[in-house]
Structure 1
Amino acid sequence: EFAISEIKKNTRRFAKRQLTWFKKQEDIIWFDYLTPVEEIINKIETQIIEK
Structure 2
Amino acid sequence: MAIEIPVKDLVQSAVQAGRNETEILTAIIEVADNLMLTAKFYAEIDTLPAALKRKLE
- Relative contact order (C-alpha < 8 Å, sep 6+): which is higher? 2
Q: TM-score, normalised by structure 1?
A: 0.50
Counterpart residue number, 1:11: 34
Q: How many residues of Structure 1 are paired with residues of Structure 2 in the alignment? A: 27
| Counterpart Cα distance in 2 of 1:18 and 1:7 | 16
- Residue type of the alignment partner of 1:3: T
Identity, % of aligned pairs?
Answer: 0
Q: Flag the structure with higher helix content.
A: 2
Runs (5+) with no aligned partner, structure 2: 1-23, 53-57
Q: TM-score, normalised by structure 2?
A: 0.45
Runs (5+) with no aligned partner, structure 1: 28-51
Which of the pair has more CA radius of gyration?
Answer: 2
